[in-house]
Amino acid sequence: MTLAEIFAQSGAAMWGTCAFDELNMEENRRAQALSLCENAQGVFVAAYPYFAGQRPGNLSLYARGEDYHRVLLRRLNQVVLSLQELYPGYRFVPGSDNSPLDERQCARLAGVGIHGKNGLVIVEPYGSWVFLGTILTDLPLPSAAVPAPDCLNCGACVRACPGGALGAQPFDESRCLSALTQKKGALSPEETALLAAHPLIWGCDICQQVCPYNQRAVCSPLPDLTGSGDLPYLDSLTPEDLEGLSNRTFRAKYGDRAFAWRGPAVLRRNLELKKQQN
Ligand code: SF4
Ligand code: SF4
């Protein structure tokens, strides 16, 4: 099989490679990467689409299917098996959102997608509704001759961002509602007001929903990310869904979802804020 066939078979909508030495990394992250793959030389980066249509609900679209960390690792492990056959003797370390690599930077160098002002990578025809996965390797790999381009720079995402997170340079995560929905502990009055007015109890899709590239995004063919596989798509959580759940029973019920790692307390708080608002 060729590399193109291997990635296509894993469900990747787009893939590319970059040279490890060209990555701009903090020293501790570089050391972490080298502890995973001594003599790292390159990175494969691949994009997996997850859009299942715009449907009502109170969870961000990325969190409605099976936990993407698990899905991507499963799909990347499939790629790794084929790479080991193609390049025996080399090391391949898959990662998804949990590796020392900056996936967006890898995608940029690899020429994967279009890079949005909202910080997301757009892969047509799926828009920015894609997850990025990486495979770190000691196989020497080149970066793309031309890095991935920037988006239209229309500014719609900056104008629509409720917290003003995108107006700031660099991105101000403390003002991002996606981060706020996950924040534990006391909230300031401003944060409370932002969360109460926000339609979702987990995540935020606004800077994606307004992006012109996403207006004609097509649905992903990948069943595990779109609820057509073993795990049903979950649009919303209600207070009743969480009633009586301890941390342990919450994880037993929702452990295969991307929102499960934070436990039930923040979700209950966010649902309560909605109730007070209504
Ligand atoms: S996810 Fe929401 S709050 Fe965060 S940058 Fe995008 S629009 Fe702003
Ligand atoms: S909304 Fe406009 S500025 Fe923002 S990512 Fe999309 S094209 Fe770029």
Convert the pLDDT of each residue in 230-243 to its tens digit.
889 999 999 999 99
- Note whether residue 176 is domain-resident: no
Residue 278 pLDDT greater than 70, yes or no: no
pLDDT tens-digit readout, 129-163: 999 999 999 999 999 999 999 999 999 999 999 99
pLDDT band for position 167 (cuts 50, 70, 90): confident
Neighbour count for residue 235 (Cβ, 10 Å): 14
C-beta 160 within 6 A of ligand 2: no
Å from CA of 85 to ligand 2 middle: 40
Instruction: Say if CB 173 and CB 121 are below 8 A apart.
Output: no
Ligand 2 contact via 187 beta carbon (within 6 Å): no
155 CB near ligand 2 (under 6 Å): yes
Among residues 269, 272, 241, 239, which one has the least CA distance to residue 254?
241
Q: Is the CB of 153 under 6 A from ligand 2?
A: yes
CA 275 to chain centre: 29
Amino acid identity at 243: E
Q: Is residue 22 part of a domain?
A: yes
Tracing tokens 């996965």 back to the chain, one arrives at: 133
207 Cβ inside 6 Å of ligand 1: yes
In a domain, 249, yes or no: no
Residue 80 lies in a domain: yes
* Position 229 in a domain: no
Distance (angstroms) between ligand 1 centre and the Cα of 85 equals 42
Q: How far apart are the CA of 112 and the centre of ligand 2, in A?
A: 17
pLDDT of residue 169: 73
Token pair belonging to 187: 């909230």
Give catalytic residue positions: 97
Residue 56 lies in a domain: yes
- Give the residue-averaged pLDDT of 193-204: 95
Pocket test for ligand 1, best of 161, 208, 210 (most atoms within 8 A of CB): 161
Q: How many domains does the chain have?
A: 1
Distance CA 170, CA 35 (A): 29
The closest-lying atom of ligand 2 relative to the alpha carbon of residue 154 is 2
Domain containing 23 equals: 3-137
Residue 23 lies in a domain: yes
- Is residue 241 domain-resident? no
pLDDT, the chain, mean: 95
- Alpha carbon 131 to its chain centroid, in Å, reads 4
> The whole model's pTM is what?
0.95
